[in-house]
Amino acid sequence: MNEDSFFPLFSEFQITYRYKVYFTKDIFQKDNPVLKNFFISEIKQGLVKKVMVVFDERLIHYHPNLVSEIKNYFQGLESFIQLTGDIIPIPGGEECKNNQNLWESLVNAVNTHGVDRHSYILAIGGGAVLDLVGYVAAVSHRGIRLVRIPTTVLSQNDSGVGVKNSINFQGKKNFLGTFAPPVAVFNDLQFLESLDDRDWRSGMAEAIKVALIKDKDFFHWIESNASELLNRNLDTMAYLIHRCAKLHMDHIASGDPFEFGSSRPLDFGHWSAHKLEYLTQFSLRHGEAVAIGIALDTVYSYQKQFLSQDDCLRILSLLKTLGFVVYHPMLSDGEKQNLFLGLEEFREHLGGRLTIVLLAEIGKSLEVHEMDFKTIDTSVNFLKTYL
């Protein structure tokens, strides 16, 4: 045999991903051209594309005309984009990511309606719905074009503008998932007006997170505008969402978007938050759990003398001012052994060695590769008594 047959082969290639995040209001009103113009920009000669629309059924309570508005919007566009059958309502919230039957039903709908790789799945809802539908789009035909319309603060400023999709499996959050960017994201302010106070507040946790690790001036802005945010000023929230989304997207573009390494800076405060969500059977919103996780890792950073006391207290004060609770009894449950388990699950999810993001100062992060359980214990106890 020719010895050349044993030489290793090597290949390297790059793929460029591009997508836009649009900011609008009343996206399905006939006189709003933003979505129509996007589909026009995607026209390929002689090809009529399909779009399968999936939405959080809870939206109907606040937007009873949503289905008819969507259907009316697409009338007259049939020469280049056509709706597939009925618009599909699904239950929202984290439970939809735990329901394998729901995932299978959406994959079956893709098959039934003949939605191919050049067509679209349009997902309307909060982060959990976008995660589920995004996973369906990513694995069907090895990738159908995904369009997201996030409807919560949390999804408009964070998860909805990212590149991740997932469902929960084996009792673990986001155990099955993909890195698959959307082709476009449309943030519609109109949907935010119908959020309850918990969901309005919940999304601000991710803005605080990204400010703490990347942008000191943005943190100061949140402090200065806390009253307007708490009182649901839509213009103030619009700025927060736009700034947070930009920081998130800049990080994706300049960092490790598919997380080949073990570092996940944007997951500051998340290792305990993910565990808390499960321990509370998702009675905690994701943002509420993240706020507690931020508080825990902030105090831990202070206890390890990475972060000044002044910065630590400023962060906790802002969380409290915005209405967040910074402690939950489940942090102390089982002699805090659940937190140990949460750390191990987080390491497993990352792959490789444990990497946790902590704070050196407001606007500046640092990474550690181990967590001292004694300091975790004292940090939890600090939060338990913090007023």
Q: Write b or e for each residue in 138-163: b if 16 or more Cβ atoms lie within 10 A of its Cβ, otherwise e.
A: bbbeeebbbbbbbbbbbbbbbbbbbb
- CA neighbor of 328 nearest in space, from 386, 267, 266: 386
**CB hemisphere CA count around 129 (13 angstroms):** 28
The neighbour count for residue 208, using CB atoms within 10 Å, is 26
Query: Could you give phi then psi for residue 269, rounded to 5 degrees?
Result: 80, 5
One-letter identity of residue 197: D
3-class DSSP assignment, residue 235 = helix
- Residue 311: partners with Cβ closer than 8 Å, 6 or more residues away: 302, 359, 361, 362
Which residues, 6 or more positions from 128, have their beta carbon under 8 angstroms from its beta carbon?
92, 93, 94, 95, 96, 97
The two tokens of residue 16 are 């460029």
| pLDDT tens-place values along the chain, 387 residues long | 666 667 888 898 888 888 999 999 999 999 999 999 999 999 987 788 999 999 999 999 999 999 999 999 999 899 999 999 889 999 998 889 999 999 999 999 999 999 999 999 999 999 999 999 999 999 999 999 999 999 999 999 988 998 999 999 887 888 899 999 999 999 999 999 999 999 999 999 999 999 999 999 999 999 999 999 999 999 999 999 999 999 988 888 877 677 665 456 678 999 999 889 888 988 999 999 999 999 999 999 999 999 999 999 999 999 999 999 999 999 988 777 888 888 888 887 667 678 899 999 999 999 999 999 999 999 999 999 997
For residue 167 the two structure tokens come to 């469902």
Token representation of residue 111: 């098959």
Cα–Cα distance for residue pair 195/212, rounded to 1 Å: 25
pLDDT (0 to 100) of residue 333: 80
Predicted confidence at residue 264, as pLDDT, reads 66
> Is domain 20-194 in CATH 3.40.50.1970, yes or no?
yes
In angstroms, the CA 23 to CA 25 distance is 7
Question: DSSP labels for 127-193?
Answer: HHHHHHHHHHHHHGGG--EEEEEE-SHHHHHTGGGSSEEEEEETTEEEEEEEE---SEEEEEGGGGG
Element (H, E) at 357: strand 356-361
Same fold: 20-194 with 197-385: no
- 369 DSSP assignment: S
CA 307, chain centre distance (Å): 27
Q: Is residue 181 within 8 Å of residue 163, measured between CB atoms?
A: yes
Tokens of 215: 């942008």
Pick the CATH number of 197-385 from 2.60.120.260, 1.20.1250.20, 1.20.120.1080, 1.20.1090.10: 1.20.1090.10
- The two tokens of residue 190 are 């109109």
What CA–CA distances, in Å, run from 324 to 19, 202, 204, 308, 384?
33, 8, 10, 22, 14
Q: Where are the domains of the chain?
A: 20-194, 197-385
Following CA atoms 326, 338, 274, 174 in sequence, which dihedral angle do they give, to the nearest 10 degrees? -170
Residue 150, strand partner residues: 125
* Helix (H/G/I), strand (E/B), else coil: 89: strand
Task: Write down the pLDDT at residue 367.
Answer: 93
